[in-house]
């Protein structure tokens, strides 16, 4: 079996153009347990498909920009179900957060048993946008 022939008619990609993946202003990811615990003690906005926890970081913390974390406990289900729930939360955050996240905030999306996996994806995105507006004092 031979490899497919290269498309010689197509011009090479311009290296100066940023790819769509790199050009979005996606928040950094929370990785430390202490950050998750601090967010858990801060503000909460419940939604049908997930729970949003958020906190405004102190001025002395060195992180710049918004950060986001995802968590799904074993109450969600087995590993396959938990991973699917986290993938859906990440996809919703990728769609909504670049335009709605504010600098200096930590956000944690917590999956809900039976809801995160089965809830309509468009509704999850709409709920996340509404929760961020409510959190930051915007119009509902």
Position 128 scores a pLDDT of 94
pTM above 0.85, yes or no: no
Position 51 scores a pLDDT of 95
Residues of the chain with pLDDT under 50: 12, 15-23, 140
Name the residue with tokens 């010689």: 8
Tell me the per-residue pLDDT of 80-89, one tens digit each, with 9 for 90 and over. Answer: 999 999 999 9
Position 27 scores a pLDDT of 78
Position 64 scores a pLDDT of 75
The CA distance from 124 to 112, in Å, is 12
Q: What is the architecture of the domain spanning 21-135?
A: 2-Layer Sandwich (3.30)
| Nearest residue to 85 via CA among 122, 46, 114, 125 | 114
CB count, 10 Å around CB of 115?
15
Position 137 scores a pLDDT of 85
The CA distance from 66 to 86, in Å, is 19
Q: What is the DSSP letter of 103?
A: T
Q: What are phi and psi of 131, to 5 degrees?
A: -65, -40
Q: Is the dihedral of CA 117, 41, 104, 67 positive or negative?
A: negative
């Amino acid at each position: 079996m031979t490899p497919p022939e290269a498309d010689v008619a197509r011009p090479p990609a311009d290296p100066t153009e940023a790819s769509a993946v790199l050009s979005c202003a996606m928040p950094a990811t929370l990785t430390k347990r202490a950050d998750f615990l601090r967010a858990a003690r801060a503000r909460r906005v419940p939604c049908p498909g997930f729970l949003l926890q958020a906190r405004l970081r102190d001025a002395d913390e060195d992180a710049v920009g918004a950060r986001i974390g995802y968590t799904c406990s074993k109450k969600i289900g087995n590993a396959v179900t938990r991973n699917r729930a986290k993938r859906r939360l990440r996809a919703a955050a990728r769609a909504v957060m670049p335009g709605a996240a504010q600098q200096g905030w930590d956000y944690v999306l917590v999956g809900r048993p039976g809801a995160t996996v089965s809830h309509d994806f468009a509704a999850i995105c709409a709920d996340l946008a509404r929760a961020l507006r409510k959190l930051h004092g915007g119009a509902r």
